[in-house]
Chains A and B, each alone.
Chain A
Amino acid sequence: MTILVCISYVPDTAAKIGVTPEGTGLVLDGVKYILNPYDEFAIEEALQQREKHGGKVIALTVGPESAKEILRTALAMGVDSATIIPSTSLDSFGVAYNIAAYARSIGADLILLGRQSIDHDSFQMASTVGAMLGIPSISVVSKLEIEGATVRAERDIEGGKEILTSSLPIVISVQKGINTPRYPKLPDIMKAKSKPIDTVEPQSVQPRVAMVRYATPQLKRRGIILGDSDADIAEFVRLLHEEAKVI
């Protein structure tokens, strides 16, 4: 089985991100970038599926040169090879297009992703890549079983869970809880440093969405902070009931 695992290089969740005065760009100075947290589950799932079914795992990222860092993490965890498509200018559609083209070129049977990239939180890659390849996709999967060409997956939905069936080839995005990602061992980290990383030139595509403006959110909160006396608690309940009208 040929497994492609797509990983993204994102600002650390604790990073301070600002907006330029005119609101036309982002200020990302000094921001630390990390492997998208969900993608660790995707890498682990790829390795576990390889253990069950044999084959090889290829890790792919579309991003700046510095994103090779997360490909090294994937190599240290145990993927067989790593590829970067160097680009910083593609929109989500363009990233998906390049992922789909690469998946086609290697004949991937299983394409694994994280459920969302924590930079744009757009939850779209699995469906978009699946549609571009004309194959099924299942997003936010918390349990995955593959037997022959049959796929069975579980995912949480509002108020319950769904059990889905499908077939290979398929695109799957995974949710925390599907597995416990392994920690790469020091010797593997060292070995990963010298492994080759393939480069595939990006294909440019017409963007579909323009980011016209950025802004920092305006907090419009009341900020009424009370103590814990009986009178304060009574006031708290009154405010929620009479002023906010939410209880």
Chain B
Amino acid sequence: MSTVAVYIEQREGIVKRPSLEALTAARQLSPHVVAVCISAPGDASLLARYGAAEVVTIEHPLLQQYSSQAVAVALAQYVRSAEVTTILIAGTAQGKELAPRLAVLIEAAYIPDCTELDRDEHGKLQAKHPLFAGKVIATMQPLTERTVVTLRPNMFTARAVESSSEPTITQFSPTLSEEDRKVVVEQVVRNEGKLDVLEADIIVSGGRGMKGPENFVLIEQLANVLGAAVGASRAVVDAGWRPHSEQVGQTGKTVSPNLYLACGISGAVQHLAGMSSSKVIAAINKDKDAPIFKVADYGIVGDVFEVIPKLIERIAALKQTGA
């Protein structure tokens, strides 16, 4: 039986949601899913609820400060000892850096940015990966015994299992030296009080149709009533109206929120590259022929300056009645 392991990313002891999504995806591949954590998880039963039959904690003094290099070495040692064939890793900033390094160390195939994952009729792993900014979807298969896959966040739904028992927890002690951690994260600076487009369920994005940076208060207010993050097109980032961290698109961030609401954004192919895998796409644009409407589920043809204030009012009323 092939064992599927999921690397669990934690931040200050809290498991990141994309790692729970990876656990759910792993359940489709194997009845026996192992959750692998660097240092003990705050809540092991959470991992069991999302499908881990076994939790492995990798502990070593040199792993206290995060180092992608050292974590890759430690994971590689674990994979070899436990005969794991498939390792799923959430495609976060950390995961995208870690996964290819691990793949080299365990002589595995590496499949990046996977949006669908299953097995073919022979039980062989197959994964979909968008190419050319999503213009083509490739189906990839490993040619090696082991495979490392990163999963695009929010493409797989994290689902709890119906009944879970306490997982068995085992500890694994890798052999590491200072040579294995020549790179470390010295410091993490949080953006206080600002929701990141990569972590938001809803994104409200503004484009050149907003006319100027001062008008983004409308976008911010709308984002506020929706509990959403603010996103931006490259045109407004290049103009200096918004920071680069908000840019969505091929040269910005790739997002797949539950709702992406584009305001005054034309929908250029490079913008679509970053948001076309959103669950629901809505758009407000005064040009009925704007390309964004071709990919939208819901749209309003109208002026953002008239429509957004009305939307804010209605949504605020909806939230108040809790209807």
Contact = CB atoms under 8 A, between A and B. Distances in A.
Contacts of A121: 112-113, 130-131, 133, 250
Contact of B104 (A132, A138, A226): A132
A224 B297 contact: yes
Interface in A141-188: 152, 155-167, 170, 176-177
B94 A157 contact: yes
Contact of A247 (B186, B196, B245, B315): B315
A233 interface: yes
A158 B198 contact: yes
Contact of B112 (A124, A164, A230): A124
Interface of B: 68-69, 72, 92-94, 96-101, 103-105, 108-113, 126, 129-144, 182-191, 194-196, 198-199, 202, 226, 244-245, 250-251, 258-259, 269-270, 273, 276, 279-282, 288, 293-303, 306-307, 310-311, 314-315, 318, 323
Nearest to A15: B132
Interface in A29-82: 37-38
Interface stretch (A105-113, A191-199, A238-246): A238-246
B287 to A, nearest CB: 11
Interface residues of A, number: 82
22 contacts: A17-B136, A38-B251, A120-B131, A121-B130, A122-B113, A128-B110, A140-B93, A159-B196, A159-B199, A161-B188, A161-B189, A163-B186, A211-B140, A212-B140, A215-B139, A216-B135, A219-B294, A227-B300, A230-B310, A237-B318, A241-B323, A244-B297
Contact of B300 (A119, A233, A244): A233
A84 B186 CA distance: 37
A167 B310 CA distance: 55
A162 B97 CA distance: 13
Nearest to A224: B298
A73 B314 CA distance: 53
A159 to B, nearest CB: 4
Contacts of B303: 228
B300 A228 contact: yes
Contacts of B130: 121, 217
A131 B188 CA distance: 24
A183 to B, nearest CB: 16
Nearest to B304: A228
A7 to B, nearest CB: 16
B307 A210 contact: no
B282 A13 contact: no
Given A234-B314, A236-B298, 11 more contacts: A120-B112, A158-B196, A177-B244, A207-B143, A211-B138, A211-B140, A215-B139, A223-B297, A226-B298, A227-B300, A228-B303
A223 B296 contact: yes
B298 A244 contact: yes
Contacts of A232: 300
A214 B301 contact: no
Q: Which 7 pairs between the two chains have the least Cβ-Cβ distance?
A: A228-B302, A131-B104, A136-B183, A166-B183, A127-B100, A124-B100, A246-B259
A130 interface: yes
A227 B100 contact: no
Nearest to B179: A134
A26 B259 CA distance: 32
A135 B93 CA distance: 19
A40 B175 CA distance: 40
A140 B98 CA distance: 13
Nearest to B288: A225
Contacts of B111: 209
B95 to A, nearest CB: 10
Given A124-B100, A158-B92, A247-B259, A208 B183 contact: no
Interface in A75-125: 92-93, 118-125
B14 to A, nearest CB: 12
Contacts of B185: 162-164
Contacts of B310: 230, 233
A132 B99 CA distance: 13
A214 to B, nearest CB: 5
B189 A227 contact: no
Contact of B311 (A93, A131, A157, A237): A237
Given A11-B132, A26-B136, A37-B251, A139 B96 contact: yes
> Which among B98, B196, B251, B294 has the greatest number of chain A C-beta atoms within 10 A?
B251
A240 B184 contact: no
Given A158-B93, A166-B183, A228-B307, A131 B109 contact: no
Given A208-B144, A216-B135, A217-B137, A128 B100 contact: yes
B259 to A, nearest CB: 4
B183 A224 contact: no
B307 A165 contact: no
B110 A92 contact: yes
A236 B143 CA distance: 48
B296 A128 contact: no
B140 A209 contact: yes
A19 interface: yes
Contact of B307 (A176, A233, A239): A233
